[in-house]
């Protein structure tokens, strides 16, 4: 009985705390809710399981200073071939303008079945951009399932 009263008061906003409903969580959820460093680390682990390697000549980055720069998505010059690259060079994220947390947010919303318009609002991009991303992922999924 007491619980019901508490629920009623919460529903009416008269309780000591305001109710936070799932729809409000979804509406409020944005990139700021994600740990940017963890998103970046996780993406780099996925993209480069073997660690930092020059995408041009395949030589591993051994200098601690350059490895740190690479991990922070900075530009690195290969000690072997002299060419420049970042951890995102030649990857899905290259030249997309999405930072790692935005990419995680995009993937999360796509996986949960959110619509293009809703995702566009979350990422601050237009709907057409989201539609192209969705097509790109669908093509990748098809390519990978054919390989397997
Ligand atoms: Zn190289």
Supply angle C-alpha 49, 53, 58, rounded to 5: 115
**Whole-angstrom Cα Rg for the chain:** 21
For residue 53, report the distance from its CA to the centre of ligand 1, in Å. 8
pLDDT score of 2: 62
User: Which pLDDT score is estimated for 125?
Assistant: 93
* Residue 37, pLDDT score: 96
- State which residues of the chain have pLDDT below 70: 1-3, 6-15, 148
Give me the pLDDT at residue 51, please.
Answer: 94
pLDDT at position 128 is 96
CA of 96 to the centre of ligand 1 (A): 23
For residue 144, the model assigns a pLDDT of 85
Ligand 1 centroid – CA 94 distance (Å): 18
Taking the C-alpha atoms of residue 72 and residue 3, their distance in angstroms, rounded to an integer, is: 50
pLDDT of residue 49: 94
Q: What is the reported pLDDT for 46? A: 94
Tokens, residue 108: 């999360």
- Enumerate residues with CB within 5 Å of ligand 1 (an ion): 54, 56-57, 59, 78, 80-81
pLDDT at 97: 78
- Judged by DSSP in three states, 53 sits in strand
Asked if 105 and 31 count as a contact pair (C-beta separation under 8 A), the reply is yes
Distance 137 CA to ligand 1 centre (A): 29
- How large is the angle between the packed helices 36-47 and 100-111, nearest 10 degrees? 80
Question: 56: CA distance to ligand 1 center in Å?
Answer: 5
**Ligand 1 center–CA 84 separation, angstroms:** 8
State the pLDDT at residue 6.
63
């Amino acid at each position: 009985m007491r619980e019901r009263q508490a629920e009623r008061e919460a529903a009416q906003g008269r309780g000591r705390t305001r109710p936070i409903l799932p729809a409000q969580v979804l509406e409020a959820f944005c990139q700021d809710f994600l740990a940017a460093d963890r998103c970046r680390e996780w993406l780099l682990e996925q993209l480069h399981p073997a660690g930092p390697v020059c995408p041009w000549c395949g030589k591993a980055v051994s200098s601690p200073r350059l490895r740190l720069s690479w991990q922070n998505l900075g530009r690195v010059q290969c000690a072997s071939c002299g060419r420049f690259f970042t951890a995102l060079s030649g990857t899905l994220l290259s030249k997309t303008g999405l930072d790692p947390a935005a990419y995680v947010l995009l993937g999360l919303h796509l996986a949960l079945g959110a619509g293009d318009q809703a995702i566009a609002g979350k990422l601050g991009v237009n709907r057409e951009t989201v539609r192209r991303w969705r097509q790109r992922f669908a093509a990748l999924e098809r390519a990978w399932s054919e390989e397997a």
